[in-house]
Structure 1
Amino acid sequence: MYEEHLNYVKEYFALHGDVPPNPLMAFRSKYQHTLRVLGWAKRLVRERKDVDTDILFTAVIFHDIGCSEGKEFHAERSAKIFYEYGLKMNLDLTFIERVKGLISLHSSKELLKEKDTPIELIILMEADLLDEEGALRIVWYSLDKGISGAQSYLDVYKHIIMGSNKRLINPMVTEKAQYYWNEKQKIVEEFTRQLEDDITVN
C-alpha cells in the first residue's frame, strides 16, 4: 500500500512541479524530502508499541504534496489532496480523517510541546525537522550560497553559522529524536570549527 501511495505522490509532483522556486536548487526535491522523512519516521518508531504506524507513514507520504502549488498553506492543501485520494481509493473514512488531521497540523511545530498532541503527529513533525540537518544542511547551505554568488569561503561559513544560531534549542520531544538532533548539531559545530580554522590559517 505504501508503494502505491508513494507512486501517486511521485506522479502528482511530476505533473504539478517538484522544483523549488530557484531551478538551480532542484536537489531540494520535495519527493526526495518525503522519502527521507519517511525513513526518519521509520527509524524513530523502532521498538515503539504506542504508535499507529499505518496512519503515521501514510501522513508522512502525503504531508508535503501540496507544496507543488506553493509553500504557504501547503499543509491544508496536502490534507485536502490526501482526503480526495483516500476517498478515491476507498480507504476507511476514520483512517482518512485521522491521516488528514496529522497532515493539516504538521506545520504547527508549537504543538510539539503540547501534552495532548498525538504521538503520531509528534513523530511526523520530528521526522520532518530532522531532514536537511547536520551534514545535509552543510551541503544545502554551501550550495545555496554558491548559487547566490558567494565571494569567499567566509561567506559560506557565515551562512552556515547563521543557520546554526537558529537551532540552539533542541525542539524534539522523543528521546530518539533528541539524540539524533544533538548528533546532527555536533556535526555542524565540528565542521564550522574546522572551516573557521582553515579560513584563518596563517
Structure 2
Amino acid sequence: MTLYAICLANRSAALYHLREYHYCVKDIDEALEHHYPKELKYKLYKRKARLLSHMKQHIDARDAYRQALKWLDWAKMEREKRIEHQTDIQKWLKMYETGKVVKNWDIPEGYIEPAPIIPDLAEGSSERFPSLSKKVDVKYDNNQGRYAVAAEDIEPGDVIATEKPFAAVLLREEYGNHCQKCFKVRLRTTNRYMIQQIFFVCTT
C-alpha cells in the first residue's frame, strides 16, 4: 500500500496550500496508517504540525513535531540538511515547551465547516463546453478521437475545468462526520482536532 500512501501524502501537500486543513490532516493520518515510507515520515509529521498550528491545536502540533524529530533519524539526506531540519523542529518545540499558554482551541458548539467553493474558470467559460475554460479547446480526428488542447497559454494555478456532479453519494468512511443530505461537516466542541459529528442528516 506504499503507492497509495504516497498519493495521499502528495494530495495532503496540495490541500495544505489550499488551506483545506481538515482534509489535509485526514490524508496525512491515512497515509501514515498505510505504510508510508519511514524515511519520509518526518516530512508528513512536520506538515501535520504546521497545519495543526494553523488550526490552533497547539498540543497536537507539539506532539507532531516530536514525532517529526523522532522519524528524522530514518531520513536519507546529507548531514547538513538533517541538521537544518533538526534545528527548525527544535526551534518550534522550544517555542511550545516554553510558552505560557499551550492548549488546543475549542471548536464552537454547533460549528459547521463551510462547503468548498467551486473556483471560477480562467478567462470564463467556453461557449461550446460551459464546464471548460476559454483557454481550452476540444478537437476531434479519426485517429485520436476527441481530445482537449490549450487554446492559449495556461498559467500555473489556472482553473480550466469545473463541473457539478450529476449525482453524489457520501463515502462510507465519511458517515461519522458529514451530513448525508448536504455533505457539510458537522462539528461539536472538542479539545482534539479530530472533530465529531452532531447530526447525521440536517434540515438544510
TM class by shorter chain equals under 0.3
Whose helix proportion is higher, 1 or 2? 1
TM-score relative to the length of structure 2: 0.27
Choose 1 or 2 for highest CA Rg. Answer: 2
Whose strand proportion is higher, 1 or 2? 2
TM-score relative to the length of structure 1: 0.28
Q: Which has the higher contact order (CA 8 A, sep 6+)?
A: 1
